[in-house]
Each structure stands twice: as C-alpha cells, then as structure tokens.
Chains A and B, each alone.
Chain A
Amino acid sequence: MAPLLEIRSLSRSFGGVTAVQSLDLHVMPGELVSIIGPNGAGKTTTFNLISGLDRPDAGEIRLGQRALAGLSPEAIAALGVARTFQHGRVFANLSVLDNVLIGAHTRLRAARPGAPLIGPIAELFRALVRPVWVKREAQAHEQEAHEILALFGDRLTPRVNDPAYSLSYANRRRVEIARALALRPKLLLLDEPTAGMNPTETTEMQALVADLKARGVTILLIEHKLEMVMQLSDRIYVLDDGAKIAEGAPAEVRNDPAVIEAYLGHSGVGGAATAAYEAVA
C-alpha cells in the first residue's frame, strides 16, 4: 500500500536557525502517527509546511500522488488536509455552528470558486438568489455540523449558537477539532489537542481521538502528553532540534536511548521533561 502522506528530506530554517532538518516521514492510510519532541524541535513548523502556511527550503511533501510543497494553504485544504492550531485559532466572533460550517467550506458546492471574475459574481448570485439545491446543501451541512458537535457529548451542543469567544479554552480546542472534522479530511493534523486541558478533559479528548481513528480517519498528532501518545499511536516520530532522532512503534521508541537522552540530556530540563521521562520509562 502507498503512503497517504510522504515527506522526504524536508528542511526549513529561519535566519540561520534550523527548524526542520532533512526530515523523512510517512503516514499510511488509516494510521495514527505522532510527532513528539521537546519544545522547539520543529513539530509545529512541520505542520505549517504540510498545510502550506510556510514553504520549505528543500524537500518534498506528497499527499498520495500530489506534490504539496509550494501549494497555497487553501489549495491544500481543498485536497483534504485539515489542521488545528497549537494556540487555537477559532473565529472568535462567529458562533460555534458557523465555525464548524467554515470547516466544510471546501465541500460547499455553492462556494466553488469557478473562473476568475465570473466565479465570484456567480457565487454572489447563488447566495442572493439561493436556488433549491443551494438551500438543500446548506441544510445538509448544518445537519452534519450538529452531528459533528454531538461527538463531543454535551460539551458543545448547548452552546451551538454562542460566539466562540465566550467559550472556555478547552471548548475552543474542541471547536477547532470539530471545524477540522467538518472538512472530512483525508489527513487530519492535530497540534496539541489537549493543551491547557485538565486530566478529565484530556481523557475525554483521548477517547475522542481514539474514536476518530476507529472511524478510519488518518491522523498526524503533535502531543506532549506522552501517556496519551503511547496509547493511541501506531507509530511515533521523535524530533529534536529539527532532526529525527527516533521512529517506530511506541514500545520501540520508549526504550530508545537517544530519546531518553533527548528528554533528559537537554539543557534547561524542567519538571515537564522529567515528567515526560517518567512517562516514557
């Protein structure tokens, strides 16, 4: 079977600081692959490169047969790659429902771009005149958005029409994931979905991600909570200083001396790293 996502010798540096250094990585269809590593290891940069927000200095990124490097973020989204953001980027003044509906934008036939000049005019007319198929499509999408929100239990369903800025931090993260799911992604990039969540919420999120995996969603996950990573992942990549230092199944990575050293041997080891070590060991 061919990999869904394949990254070859990907590099990116910012003014002399190497963020990602000839990284090789692949994700098979249906797999859940995690990227772990200390802060500044290049995890989020990798996500930015895959999703087109940043451009690589060198290397290849392929989604199936398509080369992604150099494509715009909107084009990559249209190919079926959805992501969440490390610090959360919900649309603050939009309702929870509208946030999720934006996630379905690439699938909205009423919003298909069309030819330059004619496309925008046609879209404007579809929005104003609203033929039957446009209405039906809007209803179907709304229905689907409610179903996605229901995945989060009663966390979001009572707040469907609330503006996103009024939500708790954890709920904003959930909205981000709901929005990404609405794209019906071939590949879902989750950037620290449990950041800022308490243990109960983390367990809940872990169950949700496991559920998504069981539904066949292909996921690339960045996460600091190693317990969760070990339990969920099919395979793990460990990055340090932009380079891959280990990869493999959780059991292999757990016992890799390079990994233990990366977490322990770093200058500025703090509580987080020690905790991480304990989780690994």
Chain B
Amino acid sequence: MSSFVDYTVNGLVIGNIYALLAVGLALIFGVANLINFAQGSVYTIGAYIGWAAITFLHMPLPLTMAIVFVGSGLIGVLIERIGLRPLQGKARIAPLIATIGLSFVLDQLVQLIFSASPRALPSDLPDIRIDIAGGSIGAMDVLIAGAGLSSAAVLYVFLRFTKLGYAVRATAQDREAARQMGVNVDAVNSAVFAIASALGGLSGLLVGMYYNHIDPAMSFQATLKGVVAQVIGGVGNVPGAIVGSLLLGLVESYGIALLGTSYRNLFAFVLLIGFLLFLPNGLFGGRSVVHSEPLTGSFIAPSREFPVPRWAVIALTLTAFALPLIYNAPYLLQTLTNAWLAAMLALSLTLVSGTTGQMSFGHAGLLAIGGYASALLALNIGWSPALSIPAAGLIAAAIGTALVFPAFRLRGHYIAIATLAIGEIVSLTILNWESLTQGAMGISGIPPLSAFGHEAYSARSVYYVCLVVLAALALLQTRLLSSHLGRTLRAVREDEVAARSFGIQLSHYKSIAFAFGGFGAGVSGGIAAHLYSYLNNQTFDSQLSLLALTMVILGGMGNVLGAILGALVLVGLPEMFRFAAEYRILIYGIVLLLLIRFRPQGLLGAV
C-alpha cells in the first residue's frame, strides 16, 4: 500500500514534468503544424541555466526559476526565427527537419560549454516529507506539482482572456484567416515558441533538481516523452497534452514498480505505438488530423536530378577500387570503409524516405537487428560471416517490415514518430532481452569478416568487402528504380489518394520498399558487427538514424548516387579535418539547417 502511494506520487510528479514539455509541443503544433524536435534541447538548456545560476551565482530558487524561464524563452524565439520563419511555404517536412538540425546544434553547444559529464543540481528546498496514507510527499513534489498547476492556470488565462491569447487560438484554427483578419502570425509564432520553450526550460530545471542530476544527453529522451504525451492526449491539444502527460507518468511509474527501471521507456513507446495505431487522434482529438493536399506533391521540393554522366560514375567507381592499390594508408581506408557502411544505410533510407516518402526516423534499428542477427548466428550457431551477413539482411528485412507494417496507414509526421518509436523499441528490446542479447553488457568476441576460410583482417581487404557490397546494393537499387517499381513507389510518395485510385495498394508497395531497404541496412549492420567485434544496445543509436537522414537530404532524396555522396561527405570531411566527435554533430546540425534553408533538394537533386 505504501509503495502504491509512493509510485502514484512519483508518477504524477513525472507526469507534471512531461506536461510542461508537452504543453509547449501542443501549442507549437497548434499554430505551426510542427512537431518541435528542439523542445528537448530547450529543456536541457533550462536545466543548465539553472545549474549555472545556482552553482556560480548562488541564486535563490525563485530567482533561478525566473532566469531559466526568461533564458529558455529567448532560445525559443531564436528557434522560431531560424527554424520556422524562413521555411514558410516550403515542404511540410522542412521545418521539422530544421528543428532536428537545431537540436543537434543546441545539444552539442551545451556539451561543448558544460562538458558531457553529468552534473549534480542541488536544490535548497527543506527536506520535509509529509506522510500520507502510508506514503509520503516531499517539498520537491509539491514544488513540481505547483509549477505544473500554476503554469496550466496561467496558460489558460493567457489563451482565454488576453488579446495575444485570442490571436494564438485564431492562428491555430485557421492560419490564413487569422492573417487576413490582421493577426501578425509571425508574432504569434514567436510568442508561442517563447512560451513553449520557457515552460520546457522550467521542466528541465525541475527534473534536474528532482533527480539531482543533469547531463546533455537528456535532451532527446525529453523530446520523445513530450511527443508521446502529446499523441496520447491528441496532437495539438493543450488540455489533452496535460492529461496525456499525467497518464504517461503514471503508466511509467507503475510499470517500473512491476518490472524494473529498464522497462520505463519501453512502456512509453509501446503506449505511443498503441495510440498511433488504434487512436491516432488521441484521447481528446476530435476531428481527423490526417489529410493530404492535392496537387502539391507535398513531400519533396519539385526538383530535377543533377545529371551525372555515366562515364563519370564509372571513373569514380574505378578510382574507388584502385585507391588501395595506389595509396594503401590504413587510416584513409578505414575512414572510407566507414563511409561505405554509412552509405549502405543511406541507400536504404533514401529508398524508404526519399523514393517512397515514408519518413523513417528509426532506421538505425534495422542496423541493430542486422548486427545482432549476424553476430548471434556467427557466435551461437557458428555460421561463417559470408553466410550470416546475408542472412542478417534478410532477417532485418523481415523483422523491420513486420514492425512497421501496422504503421503503414499513418502519414507525414505520424509515420516519422512511429518509426522513431519503433527504433527505440528495438534498442530497448535488445537492452532487456538479456538471455539472447546479454543486455547492456553487449556481445563481444564477434569473429572477423571471413569467407571460405579466408579472414579479412587488413584495412585493405575490409575496404574491398564493403566497397563490393555497396556497389552491388547500389546497382540493385538503380535497377529497381528503373523498373515499374520505381515509378510506383514514387507515385505512392507523391499522392496516396491518386495512387490508390489507380489500383496501387499502398501497404504492398511500402512493404517492398521497407523489405528492400531493410536488407541493405541489415547487411550494413551485419558487416559492422564483424568489424567492431563488439555490440551493445547503444552501438546503433537514434542519433545514427538522424545522421543517416542528414546524408540522404544532403545527397538528394531518393537519389542513389546522392546517398553515397552524402555518406562520403558527412563521414569523410570531419575525418579529413580531424574534428573531435562533438564538433561533428555540431557540423551535421549546421549542414542540415543550411540545406533545408538553401538547397532542400540536396546536392544531386531529389528524384
């Protein structure tokens, strides 16, 4: 009984923290039709502003909270100015990708300024606990509940009774009409981002004080939790976001009570997938928010493929094959090997997201499935990598497609959220299925690449293995695109309604795209497993998924050569300039932002 009360209090406290995040996301979705992936970054920044105020300036708590509120709010204004305003009228996915780029940049800046190591965030609250019904409530719990409730109340008053609040609600209902009636929509957006970010920053401060722990890596999970809470409550619905957050907090808390801490996130994502599939409008979403626009081909910018002459492709391929013979420098070859592996992933993603238009934010999950499959087949059954890697490709294709299949009827942002969650579920399943995967310990001693008794140890032989596999996959994909499948998949991307009206079964073709893509990604993961000789649940993390997305956008959505070029540039250039790892992510973020703003069709053009 006592524990039940404690778990309930804990669930409600966490729920309040999620609510501060989710309310902001809901407001932003309401006015800008955008899921703000930088929300978690603001949350982290809020925590660090608070930490600096308390540690260096010895501020009292109320003043700290005020500083966090204002500081985070200003960051929000900045996000709107960079990530949203210049992209109006561009493809709907553009601002979303811009916020991903911004989150890369902000998270890495935090890490560069404050270092990656965790910090303690002490609170000077009195250590009083009130006993209630066998459990207890502490001062911190009261503070968080108070912050949640008062924010909700202030927000309600703001939206109901102030002029700007009216403008926000009008913009959310009909952006164009509001503009015509004289509402300054840009100012509304700016205000909404400021409010959302101020609340998000406050949430970060409170959670840091609650656990007495902050670190720069907390950002991504925070965004995800906010999104989950929002989907539960109905995307864009403010009261819904609050209820969804409390529900999520409680489910997580009770889930931990039943199964242990490592299951917390699994609960959250399974709940998310459940809602997306069975109640995509959430608990409070009234009308269907899933609709598509005719004529616009709403997904990618109209563009033409940059014509790369055939002889140039052949010459470059020959150069790649001849390189180790001319210049056998292990470091260069290793870097290029990494680029080829990344290119396999990018090829897979460019088919799924570029050609077929199914935004996949969880593509690293396919690598993980492939990597573990090949490693386990080699270690447990003794298969040669020559056999286990293709098998891993097939397994990744089968499992990946089966996991995404139920989400095929979702569109736009929703398929992106679903794939993100599926990627997390794969990683969390690996973490928790210890009998098979050895959990967080990981699998070590994976045998090196070999075929027919010959082991590939040297940098040169590994390079050739990867290059040959990449070339084969690229040729296959080119052949696929030149067949009837190429135009059919692109028709699915352009307009699902028109495609169906001409007899195209959407799930059939989405399956083909995911299966083909899954094979390539699985092979890449399989090869990587044998190269690294060690895997754990974080080897292929969600950041890799977003990196792959950057490569694909850089090269040009759906463009085979573009995917390879994107991988080469983003893996190769940082190595060439020997940037430290944290600068790399910063660069990826900036590249993403510049691309979306100035060249959304990518270097070689979307196809």
Does A153 make an interface contact (CB < 8 A)?
Answer: no
Q: Which of B294, B485, B606 is the one whose CB lies under 8 Å from A88?
A: B294
- Which of A97-105, A214-222, A264-272 makes up part of the contact surface? A97-105
Are B498 and A91 in contact, with the CB atoms below 8 A? yes
B356 to chain A, nearest CB (A): 13
Bound Cα distance A156, B297 (Å): 20
Does A179 make an interface contact (CB < 8 A)?
Answer: yes
Contact A102 B499, CB 8 Å, known A93-B606, A110-B484, A130-B483: yes
Does A64 make an interface contact (CB < 8 A)?
Answer: no
Does B491 make an interface contact (CB < 8 A)?
Answer: yes
- Which of B168-176, B177-185, B505-513, B547-555 makes up part of the contact surface? B505-513
Does B494 make an interface contact (CB < 8 A)?
Answer: yes
B412 to chain A, nearest CB (A): 16
Q: Which of A51, A87, A92, A121 is the one whose CB lies under 8 Å from B494?
A: A92
Are A93 and B490 in contact, with the CB atoms below 8 A? yes
Contact A91 B491, CB 8 Å, known A120-B511, A183-B502: yes
Are B294 and A120 in contact, with the CB atoms below 8 A? no
A204 to chain B, nearest CB (A): 22
- Say whether chain B's binding surface is mostly helix, strand, loop, or mixed: helix
Does A275 make an interface contact (CB < 8 A)?
Answer: no
Residues of B close to A128: CB separation below 8 A: 476, 479-480, 483
Closest to B557 in A: A93
Bound Cα distance A94, B305 (Å): 12
Residues of A close to B295: CB separation below 8 A: 87-90, 92, 172
A183 to chain B, nearest CB (A): 7
Are B606 and A83 in contact, with the CB atoms below 8 A? no
Please report the total number of B residues contacting A with Cβ < 8 Å: 38
Q: Which A37-78 residues have a C-beta within 8 angstroms of B?
A: 51-53, 72-74, 77-78
Are B508 and A119 in contact, with the CB atoms below 8 A? yes
Bound Cα distance A83, B300 (Å): 25
Residues of B close to A82: CB separation below 8 A: 501-502
Contact bitstring B475-502, A, C-beta under 8 A = 1, else 0: 0100110011101101101110111111
Does A85 make an interface contact (CB < 8 A)?
Answer: yes
Does B515 make an interface contact (CB < 8 A)?
Answer: yes
Does B304 make an interface contact (CB < 8 A)?
Answer: yes
Residues of A close to B509: CB separation below 8 A: 120
Does B516 make an interface contact (CB < 8 A)?
Answer: yes
Bound Cα distance A83, B488 (Å): 18
Are B498 and A85 in contact, with the CB atoms below 8 A? yes
Does A165 make an interface contact (CB < 8 A)?
Answer: yes
Residues of A close to B260: CB separation below 8 A: none
A: contact size bracket: 35 or more
Contact A102 B480, CB 8 Å, known A89-B295, A94-B490, A120-B511: no
Q: Which of A83, A108, A111 is the one whose CB lies under 8 Å from B501?
A: A83
Contact A127 B297, CB 8 Å, known A78-B503, A92-B494, A103-B502: no
Contact bitstring A203-214, B, C-beta under 8 A = 1, else 0: 000000000000
Are A89 and B498 in contact, with the CB atoms below 8 A? yes
Does B296 make an interface contact (CB < 8 A)?
Answer: yes
Q: Which of B302, B497, B502 is the one whose CB lies under 8 Å from A102?
A: B502
Contact A51 B501, CB 8 Å, known A89-B495, A90-B295, A163-B304: yes
Are A91 and B485 in contact, with the CB atoms below 8 A? no
Contact A94 B487, CB 8 Å, known A87-B295, A89-B295: yes
Are A179 and B484 in contact, with the CB atoms below 8 A? no
Does A262 make an interface contact (CB < 8 A)?
Answer: no
A114 to chain B, nearest CB (A): 9
Contact A94 B512, CB 8 Å, known A87-B295, A110-B484, A128-B476: no
Bound Cα distance A128, B478 (Å): 9
Are A123 and B504 in contact, with the CB atoms below 8 A? no
Contact A92 B488, CB 8 Å, known A72-B500, A74-B504, A128-B483: no
Does A258 make an interface contact (CB < 8 A)?
Answer: no
Does A124 make an interface contact (CB < 8 A)?
Answer: yes
Residues of B close to A110: CB separation below 8 A: 483-484
Residues of B close to A111: CB separation below 8 A: 484, 488
Are B516 and A124 in contact, with the CB atoms below 8 A? yes
Bound Cα distance A218, B101 (Å): 53
Are B505 and A165 in contact, with the CB atoms below 8 A? no
Q: Which residues of A pack against B, CB within 8 Å? A: 51-53, 72-74, 77-78, 82-83, 85, 87-94, 98, 101-103, 105-106, 108, 110-111, 113, 119-121, 123-124, 127-128, 130, 138, 163, 165-166, 172, 179, 183
Q: List 28 A-B contacts (CB under 8 A).
A: A53-B500, A53-B501, A73-B501, A74-B500, A74-B501, A74-B502, A82-B502, A83-B501, A89-B295, A90-B295, A93-B300, A93-B493, A93-B494, A94-B494, A98-B487, A102-B488, A105-B502, A105-B503, A105-B504, A110-B484, A119-B508, A120-B508, A120-B509, A120-B512, A127-B479, A128-B479, A163-B302, A165-B297
Told that A98-B487, A127-B483 touch, could you supply 8 new A-B pairs with CB distance under 8 A?
Answer: A73-B497, A88-B295, A89-B498, A91-B490, A94-B487, A101-B484, A127-B480, A128-B476
Q: Which residues of B pack against A, CB within 8 Å? A: 294-297, 300, 302-304, 476, 479-480, 483-485, 487-488, 490-491, 493-495, 497-505, 508-509, 511-512, 515-516, 606-607
Rank and list the top 4 A-B pairs by shortest CB-CB distance, nearest first.
A92-B297, A106-B503, A127-B483, A77-B503
